[in-house]
Amino acid sequence: MKLNKSNYKAKAISFEVYKDGELKAGEIGIVTGKIYTSYSGFYNESSAGSVQLAMMLNYLKDNNFVFCNFGTDDSIKNNLYKRKLGAVYIDRSDFIKLWREGRK
């Protein structure tokens, strides 16, 4: 098997929220083309995760990202704050179409 690395450029990225110089929420993920894939996030103050997520989504929208991948259906179902901010489940065939479009 041969991997053509030029077709799979990815970059790690993080988003953070600070209050009075103290980290209150954050997330790490990968950018591939115009797709953001969330790997892990945290918060240590009430609502800080929702603020971080809303700001991150605005950044992605302002920078013409195709979509934000939060993972599996269970990940979306079990995170009410993600659904309140617009996260929806998409079926596999639609995901693949979006992925192919966004990774260019």
Enumerate the domain spans of the chain. 11-92
CB 85 within 8 A of CB 56: no
Give the separation between CA 48 and CA 76, rounded to whole angstroms. Answer: 18
The tokens describing 2, both together, are: 């041969």
Lowest mean pLDDT, pick from 21-25, 34-38, 41-45, 66-70: 66-70
Instruction: Determine contact, residues 37/30, Cβ cutoff 8 Å.
Output: yes
For the entire predicted model, the pTM comes to 0.76
Q: What pLDDT, in 10s, does the model give residues 50-84?
A: 899 889 989 999 999 988 888 766 655 666 767 77
Reading the block at residue 7, the tokens are 């077709």
CATH architecture type of domain 11-92: 3-Layer(aba) Sandwich (3.40)
pLDDT band at 2 (very low <50, low <70, confident <90, very high): very low
Q: What angle do CA 25, 22, 14 make, to 5 degrees?
A: 40
